[in-house]
Amino acid sequence: MSTPTYSLNANIASTCTRRVLVCAAECGMSDRVKLVNHAFTDIKTPRWLEAQPFGQMPVLVEDKTGWTLFESRAIAKYIAAVSGNTQLMPLPTDAQTYGKFEQACSIENNDFDVSASAICNELVFKPGKGGTTDPGRVILEQENLEKKLASYEVILSRQRYLAGEQMTLADLFHLPYGTMVTEIGGTTSLTDGRLPNVTRWWKELSDLASWKAIQAERAAYLEAQKKK
């Protein structure tokens, strides 16, 4: 049986797309997961909605069978399962390690992403769609993020990564919004050293060669779009 390959129907400019791409790269799956850049208008078409009823990207498609999967974190976990990389995603049979991994995934989704993505939404996505930034919401989410990252500092002062001593998908999941919220000045807490273990952790993650390559691909794509 031939090794399955996949198309990632998405766009390199999207945060969720880059979440999948960095996880695929770290799992050694980049050659089996091919990014297919789509216009953001595609995601509201009946064909797209059939695979992704929420009208969002990314969507993973198995090339041979047409089998689909959406939700960036689910896609990343699926790719890790296919790759067999049990460091980035521990097996449920290793119950305690798996429990800590799921705990870390939950922290990213419920404690970090909520505020980091809300700040990016207010400062970038909303104005980009013609809307107006709500400064009160920005301040509230900045305060929330600050409090959450203080708790990250406690965790990361005891262990190297969010799930333990090994880097997992849970750490990688932070990269798109962590990078964006820092770049737009939405927070300095990941980088300014006031939370030394957070800064150490974030530097290691954001310095990953795979992530730098994906960010470079994004910059090249956006530059090419400007020239069109």
Ligand X SMILES: N[C@@H](CCC(=O)N[C@@H](CS)C(=O)NCC(=O)O)C(=O)O
Q: Which two tokens stand for residue 15?
A: 């945060």
Shortest distance, CB of residue 9 to ligand X, whole angstroms? 11
Long-range CB contacts (within 8 A, 24+) of 48-51: 48/9, 51/9
Q: Is 179 in the site for ligand X (CB under 6 A)?
A: no
The footprint of ligand X on residues 135-154 (CB under 6 A) is none
What separation in angstroms does the CA of 85 have from each of 25, 148, 204?
A: 12, 29, 20
Shortest distance, CB of residue 200 to ligand X, whole angstroms? 27
Cβ contacts of 121 within 8 Å, gap of 6 or more: none
φ/ψ bin of 174: left (φ > 0), alpha (ψ from -120 to 50), beta (otherwise): alpha
Q: Which of 42, 46, 66 is nearest to 58 (CA)?
A: 42
Shortest distance, CB of residue 160 to ligand X, whole angstroms? 26
38 vs 198 by CB, closer to ligand X: 38
Burial class (CB within 10 angstroms; exposed 0-12, middle 13-18, buried 19+) of 35: buried
Shortest distance, CB of residue 159 to ligand X, whole angstroms? 26
Q: Is 9 in the site for ligand X (CB under 6 A)?
A: no
Q: Is 22 in the site for ligand X (CB under 6 A)?
A: no
Q: Is 15 in the site for ligand X (CB under 6 A)?
A: yes
**72, 83, 142, 187: which one contacts ligand X (CB under 6 A)?**
72
**8, 9, 12, 16: which one contacts ligand X (CB under 6 A)?**
16
Q: Do 10 and 35 touch, CB atoms closer than 8 A?
A: yes
Shortest distance, CB of residue 16 to ligand X, whole angstroms? 4
Shortest distance, CB of residue 58 to ligand X, whole angstroms? 6
The footprint of ligand X on residues 33-62 (CB under 6 A) is 43, 55-57
Among 1-9, 66-74, 182-190, 211-219, which window interacts with ligand X (CB under 6 A)?
Answer: 66-74
Shortest distance, CB of residue 82 to ligand X, whole angstroms? 18
Number of residues engaging ligand X in binding (CB under 6 A): 10
14 vs 189 by CB, closer to ligand X: 14
Q: Which of 78, 71, 79, 81 is nearest to 31 (CA)?
A: 79
Among 65-73, 140-148, 159-167, 186-194, which window interacts with ligand X (CB under 6 A)?
Answer: 65-73
Q: Do 61 and 68 touch, CB atoms closer than 8 A?
A: yes
DSSP code at position 228: -
Burial class (CB within 10 angstroms; exposed 0-12, middle 13-18, buried 19+) of 217: middle
User: Which residues of the chain form contacts with ligand X (CB under 6 A)?
Assistant: 14-16, 43, 55-57, 71-73
